[in-house]
Structure 1
Amino acid sequence: MNMRLRQTGMLLASIALAFASGCGPGPQSPDTDAVPAERESPAEIVLRRANGPEPDTLDPQRAEDETSRDIIRDLYEGLVGETASGDLVPGAAESWEVSPDGLAWTFVLRPDGRWSNGDPVVAADFVAGLRRAVDPATANSSASLLAPLDGALEIIAGDRPPDTLGAEALDDRRLVLRLHSPTPYLLGLLTHPVTFPVHGPSLVAHGAQFARPGRQVSNGPYRLDEWVVQSHVQLRRNTYFRERPQIDVVRYYTFDTPEAALNRYRAGELDLTVQFPMARFQWLRENLPDELHTAPALSTQFWLFNTVRAPTDDLRVREALSMAVDRDKITRLVTGLGDHPAYGLVPPGVANYSAQSFPWRDWPMAERVAHARARLAEAGYGPERPLRVEVHYNTDENLRRVAAAVASMWREHLGVETTLYNEEFRVMLNRRKQPDAWQILRLAWRGDYNDASNFLEALSINGAVSDTGFDDPEYERLLAAASAENNPAGRRALLEEAERRMLAAYPILPIYHPVGKILIKPWVTGFAPNVLVRNYSRHLSIDVVQRGH
């Protein structure tokens, strides 16, 4: 039998055994007046949210995009939670303690934790979720986020079975996480969906198809009610959750274009949206100033260079293309949202870190263009043999405007001929995994937790964005050394050196650091800006009198 299949079978078997005691009918719902799933009461309070492209999956251990993860954070609760402003607080765990050497964290679950079918949430649920996340059969690029756990990287590589991961249930309410080195950002990491628990009986019964309406059992304030493709995903209050949110139903509407989302918002059909066209920002600021909110965010918009396929396999080409982009002009004239030019991957504002930049960041644009032309000439490109490149980006008017601006700058400054391809988000993600199918591809990274390693490890050989072909042993060594370094100053220096080394290889083209932006109707309360741009529905309330329904 194939080793991966055998390990997967063992994992499912262990989950079945671990949760055999949780397969009964469970307790009755504490909400005796709860509305059945098949009926919708006129008195229910419904929150209507714009959510971008169609979610790829609602499986916590498989989701790879923020469109999916935003919904998953309403469905599930991790060991650690967040306030509306992003402060870390107890979640499914009511408390935790760490060993003196920082290598063992023991979490105590709340006694009243329940799945949406009434089953108790137990420590084995979290252990099973973590093991499933690192199982090679799950094939989640975010699994590398769990690298601090003992054995995680070896399991991801297929060298150890998942049940040897440094996560153990001591009893129903206590689990211990064992690390290979102290990890200062561990609590923040535990808010990421890849660390969320799994309901064993559902996974055993339905396999990878458990994250569907009628099958998915979750432990957060909401449960999955319906999913209409290219329309919406609807969540309904989990009556077993310890706290009752004011909002009963949450509808996440799918929009492929920000213009469509804005039109629905202005028509009063949405309560909030993070989607709206860049070109309308000034109008919104002048006409809806009390509804438009902007704030700093830990995020970077960048393009990937395929470093193993011509012509972007040539360092001189990648350097020239990066130097010829006028990022100040893009943020001032194209996005116009208060975004910041990006000359590195890690955004400003990350805790205990100084954002690194290309050495030519402060050169006059004319000097940068001259140097870029010289580098292209060295690579054999010029007026008689113009460079031709292809750029893929997902369908979005804002992204189209940025792509068109960059292509125009390349043509003006370097004579580069650029072909732009827009495609559905899922198509673009699948293309990224095929080295022969692209040269340059748009991507973004929004912080999973407030630490520079979250951005830098994404480009490591086992990282979530390892598709560029960038493979530098020294970069890997610096990241490993930073992971093992206990001194904050020493760790910071190693991470900053790693970013400088990565930037010198040009596997990415950073363009800008977006600010967080959202439109919220005046009848929605409870919103607070946070640098990770997370807006949990449980924190929000609706003044139904003001809204009118």
Structure 2
Amino acid sequence: MKKAFALLTGLTLLFGVLTGCSTQSNESPQAEQASTNGEPMVLRWSINSEPPSLDPGIAVDADSFDMIYAAFEGLTSYDVNGELVNATAESFTNSPDYTQFTFKIRKDAKWSNGDPLTAHDFVYAIKRNLDPKTASEYAYQLYYIKGGEEYNTGIGSADDVGVKALDDYTLEFTLKAPTPFFRELTFFPTLFPLHQKTVESNPKWADEAATIVGNGPFIMKEWEHKQKIVFEKNDNYWDKDNVKLDRLEVAMIDDNNTAFSMFENGDIDWGGYPASTLPPDAIPYLKNEGKLMVASNPGTQSVVFNTQKPPFNNQKIRQAFAYAIDRQAIIDNILQTGVPAAYGWVPDSMGLKPEGYFKEDPAKAKQLLEEGMKELGLTSFPSVTYTFDSTDMNKKVAEALQDQWKRNLGIDVKLYTAELKVYRDMRSQGNFDMIRFQWGADFNDPINFLEMFREKTGGNNHPDWENPKFKELIDQSYTEPDLEKRKQILLEAETILMEEMPLAPINFRGNPYVKNDHVKDFIIFPLGGAYFKYASVMR
């Protein structure tokens, strides 16, 4: 089992640790002086939109998560080499069968207001996030904990959840089945601690800078909504000596052309992922100049079908739309980052079936469309709309899909672009025919891409699809200790997913960016997202 665990965690990939990064781990990196001229060291950043919430148990979007990782910290984090290391926890142990994990909390860990941070803060946060009243979309990440799913679905109690504080600085998890990757999962915000007095005293505590109490390397000092967020170094952070930035200024810029122009003009220090999206027209220029970099974090871009209403309640019609997509044309002519085409949902780096489950086939697509329409009793195809969030890149991909569906299926698909918050609301409420969906790994295991479709009520099951055999296989994988047998179980599950096609994969993720050379030691997490703890700006 220990050998298997080492193999699994060793699969965690480091993409995007930048040229010029320190090679030291975060246990003892050398702190740099703030500036050559005695002024504060400031990193100027951007995000695409207003973060809906900085509550680690509620947030679901990348912009919110990036801000949360600045203000909060979990039991584990990543160092500058992309290695998972202890963070708020100073050590851990696990049982030989990986059903119990025990973490020792640092006694010098504090909240940003100076209060001591204890194991009780983790217990409170986890049970609060599992409480059905909290309505945490990521509550299912806590189902590995014994009693977690039962409490969240209303058939169990908080007292039965397998997390407890053995004392103020010892946290114990009891899991429902062997979970060798559980330590890696503790890096995810749903398992972050919360300051109980703050949460319970103000339902809107996570909406304003003045009321956010975190435990991370930075404190939020300003939140000018829809304009900017400002962080400053947290003097109560346990590892403050290794935090180099004095200040982090985050502008909210919803237009990616504007953001890129600001980067070129020197007004912000980063262009593209994970701060924003590079304009499609800028990518060839940056590539020719040798400046383009790509963070290949595990993830998949797809078209999700609403399986609960015609015509996409029909499997053959879903397959027809999937087989009619020319993925390589989209990659070569629009994305231009050399990412792989996706013929499966689980990224090929996770090794279930790298060659995929299907291929483009316009002739077969047309045949499936005709068969599906006959099964639904349709003599003409109804009006359908593809919805996407408003970036130039997403618009170009949407237009390419529209053209391919017209050319290969003879169907006129309408396009609808929505501002990010509206798009997310439509997606979560099932208010769409087809909608863009990109999923990035929360932890490096295929189950993270599959278990969201286990049942319709899953927080990220946007196609609202369910299959009894698929659910049975996912449940079986939870208790299978043999990694090779477990892989075959998950392979069978993905085979069902790709046969019924509630979503059509397009490409695996590759996020382009460019940076100023004076930015050092900024980390793009191995699984995606921004981490500012070690960053420095030597102007």
TM-score, scaled to structure 2: 0.88
Distance in 1, matches of 2:139 and 2:239, equals 30
CA contact (8 A) 2:317 2:373 kept: no
Task: State the partner residue of 1:503.
Answer: 498
The partner residue of 2:132 within 130, 136, 143 is 136
Compute the displacement of 1:383 (Å).
12
The aligned runs of 1:287-298 (5 Å cut-off) are: 287=289, 289-290=290-291, 292-298=292-298
> Segments of 4+ in structure 1 off by > 4 A?
381-384
8 Å CA contact 1:144–1:153 kept in 2: the answer is yes
Q: Which residue of 1 aligns with 2:442?
A: 448
- Equivalent residue, structure 2, for 1:255: 253
Please say if residues 389 and 416 of structure 1, whose CA atoms lie closer than 8 Å, have aligned partners that are also in contact: no
SS at the partner of 2:211? Answer: coil
1:282 maps to: 284
Amino acid at match of 1:502: L
Letter in 1 for 2:484: A
Aligned equivalent of 1:398: 393
Q: Is the 8 A contact 1:387 1:415 kept in 2?
A: no
- Measure the CA separation in 2 of the matches of 1:450 and 1:349: 9
Are residues 1:373 and 2:366 paired? yes
**What per-residue deviation string (whole Å, max 9, x for no partner) do you get for residues 213-254 of structure 1?**
111100010111111222222211111112231101112222
Tell me the residue number matched to 2:521.
526
CA contact (8 A) 1:84 1:530 kept: no
Pick from 98, 102, 106 the counterpart of residue 106 of structure 1.
Answer: 102
1:141-172 alpha-carbon deviations (Å, 9 max, x no partner): 11101111001111111112334311101111
Shift of 1:81: 1.2
In the alignment, the residues of structure 1 paired with residue 419 and residue 329 of structure 2 have an alpha-carbon distance, to the nearest angstrom, of 27
Give the one of 463, 466, 474 matched to 1:468: 463
After TM superposition, list the pairs within 5 Å mapping 1:55-204 onto structure 2: 55-204=51-200
SS at match of 2:48: coil
Q: Is the 8 A contact 1:84 1:529 kept in 2?
A: no
Deviations 1:399-456 (A, max 9, x none): 0000110010000111111111111111111112333x21111111011111111111
Give 1:411's aligned amino acid: K
CA distance in 1 between counterparts of 2:225 and 2:268 reads: 18
Q: Distance in 2 between matches of 1:189 and 1:197?
A: 14
SS in 2 for 1:307: coil
1:475-494 alignment to 2 at 5 Å? 475-494=470-489
**Superimposed CA distance per residue, residues 94-141 of structure 1 (whole angstroms, 9 cap, x where no aligned partner):** 000012332111100111001001001100001111111111111111
SS at match of 1:343: coil
Deviations 1:19-70 (A, max 9, x none): xxxxxxxxxxxxxxxxxxxxxx992221111222221110000001111101
Name the aligned partner's letter for residue 119 of structure 1: D
Paired residue secondary structure (1:54): coil
1:69 and 1:537 mapped to 2: Cα distance?
Answer: 12
Aligned to 2:317: 317
**In 2, Cα distance between equivalents of 1:426 and 1:490:** 41
Superimposed CA distance per residue, residues 312-339 of structure 1 (whole angstroms, 9 cap, x where no aligned partner) = 1111110100000000111011111122
What is the match of residue 389 of structure 1? Answer: 384
Contact 2:62 2:529 in 1 (8 A): no
In structure 2, the partner of 1:357 is 356
Distance (Å, rounded) in 2 between the aligned partners of 1:258 and 1:483 = 41
Structure 2 unaligned segments of length 5 or more: list them: 1-36
User: Is this contact kept in 2: 1:92–1:113, CA < 8 A?
Assistant: yes
User: For the Cα contact (< 8 Å) 1:475–1:498, is it kept in 2?
Assistant: yes
Q: Over aligned residue pairs, what C-alpha RMSD do you find?
A: 1.9
Q: Point out the more displaced range, 175-184 or 532-541.
A: 532-541
Equivalence for 1:306: 306
Q: What's the counterpart of residue 46 of structure 2? A: 50
Question: Structure 1 residue 530: deviation in Å?
Answer: 5.2
Tell me if the contact between 2:522 and 2:532 (Cα under 8 Å) persists in the aligned partners: no
The alignment's TM-score, normalised by the length of structure 1, stands at 0.87
Residues 202 and 210 in structure 1, CA contact (< 8 A), matched pair in contact too: no
Q: Which moved more, 1:309-318 or 1:461-470?
A: 461-470
Partner of 2:19: none
What is the rounded CA distance, in whole Å, between the counterparts of 1:356 and 1:72 in structure 2? 36
**Structure 1 residues 99 and 486: CA distance shift in structure 2, 3 A:** same
- Separation (CA, whole Å) in 1 of partners of 2:206 and 2:38: 30
